[in-house]
Amino acid sequence: MTSEAIADSKPRLSVAGLWKVFGPKAASIIGTPDADLPRPELLERTGCVAAVKDVSFDVAPGEVFVVMGLSGSGKSTLVRCLTRLIEPTAGSVRLDGSDVAAMSTRELMAVRRNEVAMVFQHFGLLPHRQVLDNVAFGLEIRGEGKEKRYKRSREIIDLVGLKGYENHYPDQLSGGMQQRVGLARALAVDPKVLLFDEPFSALDPLIRRDMQNEVIRLQDDLKTTMVFITHDLSEALKLGDRILIMRDGEVVQIGTPAEVIAAPADDYVKDFVSEIPRSHVLTLKWVMRPQRPDDSLEGPEMDINTIIRNAAQAALASAHPVKVIENGQLVGIVDDEAILRSVVAEEEVSA
């Protein structure tokens, strides 16, 4: 999904002016000059810690929205504020238009039971229940009958590839499989929005890659809206339609993976993305230049959304520059130098 398409549709989740301040008289800080202080000074002056500072973003239906930041950046607090596992101090969280932050307990419970489900870093499975009963837990607490919830749970267990493990206990499964149970438990309630809180950080690198692919596969099948928290940039780039970068509780940048790589909002983000091979992420859009009269038009045509790495061989093999096409129109030219610069030199590319 492109960013234009996202901007056009009505958001599924819309967060506006969200704050979470821990400490005494937390609410009174918001709106005062204190709120703008850096964290250590705020702590010294007021004894409070602002974990989430004035965060706003929209998530479109079917979008995978990744929140990325280092530990302590407030990303886990942010995702918990979305269903008030941590009570936000100020701001609104609109789910299909209705404000979760302002809901009564009863309404909130209904949202948690039916609309939003979450997958946790440390799984949070019930050790005394078998896989089947763990997956059925959400259905059980919203009062669905045994037969119905077992039927649904078995379907989901098949879907996440745990068939045959229904009657195992969590401690008999590997970490990756436990997280599949966590995923199945969240999917079982057929939520509109799935929240992931660093779900794969506790797993081995290989298992992590499997699970990421699993999420991509499920997303292709189910088209669920996802908010995905991670501290791993490559995970964010791999999964995210858009990425929100957080630092010290504040939003630093929101954009598509390519935007973040190609146009980092500040030195912090630039530093972050410096290790990422640009040619693996960026498309021709980011390295093309306007057509000049002297350009040869003999070269190959390529779509504007082609990843540079995939374009490289054909472009370099041709003696003429690549013609970049968008919607059948010639929109720019990419010459060998531009390709080489992003593949080999990895130096700054301006959009």
Min CB(123)–another protein separation in Å: 7
Min CB(243)–another protein separation in Å: 23
Min CB(217)–another protein separation in Å: 23
Question: Binding to another protein by residue 120, rule CB under 8 A?
Answer: yes
Considering only the stretches 18-26, 137-145, 261-269, 330-338, report the one whose residues sit in contact with another protein under the rule CB under 8 A.
137-145
Selected binder of another protein within 60, 101, 125, 243 (CB under 8 A): 125
Nearer to another protein, 22 or 268 (CB): 22
Nearer to another protein, 81 or 312 (CB): 81
Selected binder of another protein within 55, 189, 262, 288 (CB under 8 A): 189
Judge contact between 290 and 333, C-beta under 8 A: yes
Judge contact between 101 and 84, C-beta under 8 A: yes
Question: Binding to another protein by residue 148, rule CB under 8 A?
Answer: no
Question: Binding to another protein by residue 7, rule CB under 8 A?
Answer: no
- The Cα 287–Cα 266 span in angstroms is 20
Q: H-type helices in the chain, by residue range?
A: 3-8, 39-46, 75-82, 105-114, 131-135, 137-141, 146-159, 175-188, 205-222, 233-239, 257-262, 267-273, 278-281, 308-317, 336-340
Judge contact between 82 and 93, C-beta under 8 A: yes
Min CB(255)–another protein separation in Å: 28
Question: Binding to another protein by residue 180, rule CB under 8 A?
Answer: no
Q: How far is CA 242 from CA 122, 180, 316, in A?
A: 25, 24, 31
The residues that bridge with 99 in the sheet, in sequence order, are 94
The residues that bridge with 93 in the sheet, in sequence order, are 15
Min CB(141)–another protein separation in Å: 5
Question: Binding to another protein by residue 100, rule CB under 8 A?
Answer: no
Nearer to another protein, 229 or 262 (CB): 229
- The Cα 225–Cα 202 span in angstroms is 23
Considering only the stretches 43-51, 93-101, 106-114, 284-292, report the one whose residues sit in contact with another protein under the rule CB under 8 A.
106-114
Judge contact between 131 and 170, C-beta under 8 A: yes
Q: Looking up tokens 């965060």, which residue turns up?
A: 55
Question: Binding to another protein by residue 142, rule CB under 8 A?
Answer: yes
Selected binder of another protein within 127, 290, 293, 328 (CB under 8 A): 127
Nearer to another protein, 85 or 222 (CB): 85
Among 40, 42, 53, 43, CA closest to 81: 53
Among 173, 84, 68, CA closest to 130: 173
Fill in the per-residue mask, 194 to 213: x = in contact with another protein (CB under 8 A), - = not in contact. -x------------------
Among 285, 294, 246, CA closest to 81: 246
Positions touching another protein (CB under 8 A) are 83, 85, 108-114, 116-118, 120-130, 137-138, 140-142, 167, 169, 182, 185, 189, 195
